[in-house]
Amino acid sequence: SIKAIESPNKTDDTTWLTYWVVYGFFSIAESFSDIFLYWFPFYYAGKCLFLVWCMAPVTWNGSQVLYQNLIRPCFLKHHETVDKVLGNLGTKA
């Protein structure tokens, strides 16, 4: 999905690809932190509001904000390493 977002051919699917990238990172982080966070009152309501913010059809939605400020800079810094690792996994498989 990140490769599709960063490709020069932009279409309207970029919005949803951005959402799915952010949702994937959120799901990974949540799998580690959910064991502690579910004890907090209104955790699931806050989680629901966060996901609605990520899907909101506005220019400042959560997916765009988080992708542009956190995920994209990290990806651009490490994309060559990720490509090498995935290439090695592909040849070994």
Mean pLDDT value across residues 54-72:
90
For the chain, the farthest-separated pair of C-alpha atoms sits apart, in whole angstroms, at 47
Closest CA to 50 of 26, 34, 21, 74: 26
pLDDT, tens only, 1-33: 777 677 777 665 777 788 889 999 999 998 888
Q: Lowest-confidence range among 3-17, 45-59, 77-91?
A: 3-17
pTM: 0.71
At residue 40, the pLDDT reads 85
Predicted confidence band of residue 49 (pLDDT cuts 50, 70, 90): very high
Phi-psi domain of 42 (left: phi exceeds 0; alpha: psi -120 through 50; beta: other): left
